[in-house]
Structure 1
Amino acid sequence: MAKAEPGWQILRGGRLAEVTRRRAGHADIVIQDGVIREVGENLAAPEGAAVVDASGFLLHPGLTNAHTHGHGGLGRGQGDRWSLETLLASAPWVGGSRALSDKRLSVLLCAAEMVAKGCTTAYDLCTEIPLPSVEGLDAVADAYATVGMRAVVAPMVADRSLYEAIPGLLDALPDKLRREAEKIRLRPWQETLAVMEQALRDWRWNAEDIRFAVAPTIPHHCTREFLCGCRDLARKYEVGLHSHVAESKVQALVGLQSYGMTLARYMDSLGLVGPQFTVAHGVWLDDDDLRMLADRGASIAHNPASNMKLGNGMFRLKRALDLGVNVGLGTDGVTSGDNSNMYEAMRLAAFTSHVQTPDPRAWATAEQVYHAGTLGSARAAGFTDIGAIEPGMKADIVFLDLATPHWMPHNATLNQMIHAEDATAVRHVMIGGRFVYRDRKHTMLDMAKLAAEAEEARDRLDAANAEQKALFDLLEPVVASFCSGLAARPYHLSRYMCDAPNSGI
Structure 2
Amino acid sequence: MLIKNGTVVTMNKKREIIKADILIEGNIIKEIRPNIDIQDDKVIDATGKAVIPGLIQTHIHLTQTLFRGQADDLELLDWLKLRIWPLEGGHTPESNYLSAKLGIAELIKGGTTSIIDMETVHHTDSAIEAIYETGFRAVTGKCMMDYGTEVPSTLMENAEDSINESVELLKKWHNKGNGRIKYAFAPRFVVSCTEDLLLRVRDLAKEYDVMIHTHASENRGEIEFVEKDRGMRNIIYLHKLGMTGEKLILAHCIWLDDEEMRILSDTGTKISHCPSSNLKLASGIAKIPELIDMGANVSIAADGAPCNNNLDAFTEMRMAALIQKARLLSPTAMPAMKVFELATINGAKAMCMKDKLGSIEVGKIADIAIVNLNKLHNAPNEEVDIISQLVYSAKAEDVETTIIDGKIVMKDRKLTTIDEKALLEDVNKIIKTQIDRAGVKK
Is 1:368 matched with 2:357?
no
Q: Which amino acid aligns with 1:427?
A: E
CA drift of 1:163 comes to 2.8
C-alpha distance 22-30 of structure 1, shift in aligned 2 (>3 A):
closer
CA drift of 1:92 comes to 4.2
Asked whether the equivalents of residues 90 and 154 of structure 2 are also in contact (C-alpha less than 8 Å), the reply is no
Is 1:414 matched with 2:387?
yes
Is 1:293 matched with 2:285?
no
CA drift of 1:49 comes to 7.1
Corresponding residue of 2:280: 309
Q: Which amino acid aligns with 2:424?
A: A
> Pairwise mapping of residues 229-248 of structure 1 onto structure 2 (< 5 A)?
229-248=200-219
Corresponding residue of 1:77: 69
Is 1:86 matched with 2:78?
yes
Asked whether the equivalents of residues 22 and 414 of structure 1 are also in contact (C-alpha less than 8 Å), the reply is no
Q: Distance in 2 between matches of 1:336 and 1:303?
A: 10
> Pairwise mapping of residues 379-390 of structure 1 onto structure 2 (< 5 A)?
379-384=349-354, 385-390=356-361
Residues 423-467 of structure 1: per-residue CA shift (max 9 Å, x gap):
1211111112221101111011111111111111113223333xx
Q: Which amino acid aligns with 2:89?
A: G
Partner SS state of residue 406, structure 1: coil
Asked whether the equivalents of residues 89 and 154 of structure 2 are also in contact (C-alpha less than 8 Å), the reply is no
Corresponding residue of 2:433: 460
Asked whether the equivalents of residues 141 and 205 of structure 1 are also in contact (C-alpha less than 8 Å), the reply is no
Q: Distance in 2 between matches of 1:23 and 1:267?
A: 39
Asked whether the equivalents of residues 58 and 116 of structure 2 are also in contact (C-alpha less than 8 Å), the reply is yes
Between stretches 80-89 and 455-464, larger displacement belongs to 455-464
CA drift of 1:52 comes to 2.5
Partner SS state of residue 327, structure 2: coil
C-alpha distance 63-22 of structure 1, shift in aligned 2 (>3 A):
closer
Between stretches 36-45 and 422-431, larger displacement belongs to 36-45
Corresponding residue of 1:499: none
Corresponding residue of 1:188: 158
Corresponding residue of 1:403: 374
CA drift of 1:383 comes to 1.9
Between stretches 221-230 and 351-360, larger displacement belongs to 351-360
CA drift of 1:185 comes to 6.8
Is 1:260 matched with 2:239?
no
> Pairwise mapping of residues 9-408 of structure 1 onto structure 2 (< 5 A)?
9-18=1-10, 24-45=17-38, 50-89=42-81, 90-128=83-121, 132=122, 136-161=123-148, 163=150, 186-203=156-173, 205-206=175-176, 207-361=178-332, 363-384=333-354, 385-408=356-379
CA drift of 1:241 comes to 0.5
CA drift of 1:162 comes to 5.9
Q: Distance in 2 between matches of 1:51 and 1:448?
A: 27
Which structure 1 residue ranges, 5 or more long, are not aligned?
A: 1-8, 165-180, 474-505
Q: Distance in 2 between matches of 1:22 and 1:372?
A: 14
Q: Distance in 2 between matches of 1:409 and 1:146?
A: 40
Asked whether the equivalents of residues 22 and 413 of structure 1 are also in contact (C-alpha less than 8 Å), the reply is no
CA drift of 1:210 comes to 0.7
Instruction: Please identify the structure whose Cα radius of gyration is greater.
Output: 1
C-alpha distance 398-270 of structure 1, shift in aligned 2 (>3 A):
same
Q: Distance in 1 between matches of 2:170 and 2:368?
A: 30
Partner SS state of residue 152, structure 1: strand
C-alpha distance 268-252 of structure 1, shift in aligned 2 (>3 A):
same
Q: Distance in 2 between matches of 1:370 and 1:224?
A: 37
Residues 405-426 of structure 1: per-residue CA shift (max 9 Å, x gap):
2332221111111011121211
CA drift of 1:111 comes to 0.4
Q: Distance in 1 between matches of 2:175 and 2:125?
A: 9
Partner SS state of residue 408, structure 1: coil
Corresponding residue of 1:430: 403
CA drift of 1:302 comes to 0.3
Q: Which amino acid aligns with 1:457?
A: I
Q: Distance in 2 between matches of 1:358 and 1:331?
A: 24
- What TM-score does the superposition give when structure 2 sets the normalisation length? 0.94
Asked whether the equivalents of residues 23 and 413 of structure 1 are also in contact (C-alpha less than 8 Å), the reply is no
Q: Distance in 1 between matches of 2:235 and 2:404?
A: 35
Asked whether the equivalents of residues 373 and 394 of structure 2 are also in contact (C-alpha less than 8 Å), the reply is no
Residues 314-373 of structure 1: per-residue CA shift (max 9 Å, x gap):
011101100000001010010112111011111111111111112334x01111110101
C-alpha distance 232-21 of structure 1, shift in aligned 2 (>3 A):
closer
Q: Distance in 1 between matches of 2:62 and 2:40?
A: 40
Asked whether the equivalents of residues 148 and 191 of structure 2 are also in contact (C-alpha less than 8 Å), the reply is no
CA drift of 1:23 comes to 9.6
Residues 35-87 of structure 1: per-residue CA shift (max 9 Å, x gap):
11222223343x65743221121110110110010111211111221111011
Which structure 2 residue ranges, 5 or more long, are not aligned?
A: none
Q: Distance in 1 between matches of 2:25 and 2:168?
A: 36
Q: Distance in 2 between matches of 1:93 and 1:245?
A: 21
Q: Distance in 2 between matches of 1:117 and 1:359?
A: 29
Percent of residue pairs identical: 28
C-alpha distance 242-356 of structure 1, shift in aligned 2 (>3 A):
same
CA drift of 1:205 comes to 4.8
- What TM-score does the superposition give when structure 1 sets the normalisation length? 0.82
